[in-house]
């Protein structure tokens, strides 16, 4: 009887942990889907060779 009670407690703890993990994963996925798109200007700046130099010089 005591062993059954311990297993039941561990099962409840595992279920709670899995629910929290699923909730966090769902939150991450929703935030990722709702983030704004990168503008074409930003894409062009990152592909430009001088972009890295400008960011290092603080311009």
Span 11-42, pLDDT tens digits: 999 999 999 999 999 999 999 888 888 777 77
* pLDDT class of 2 with cuts at 50, 70, 90: confident
Which of the pair, 52 or 48, is modelled with greater confidence? Answer: 48
- CA distances (Å), 14 to each of 5, 20, 33, in order? 14, 10, 29
- CA distances (Å), 55 to each of 33, 35, 50, in order? 28, 24, 9
* pLDDT class of 57 with cuts at 50, 70, 90: low
pTM of the model: 0.56
């Amino acid at each position: 009887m005591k062993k059954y009670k311990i297993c039941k407690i561990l099962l409840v703890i595992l279920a709670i942990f899995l629910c929290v993990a699923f909730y966090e994963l769902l939150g991450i996925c929703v935030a990722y889907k709702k983030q704004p798109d990168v503008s074409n200007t930003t894409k062009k700046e990152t592909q430009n060779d001088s972009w890295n130099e400008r960011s290092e010089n603080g311009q």
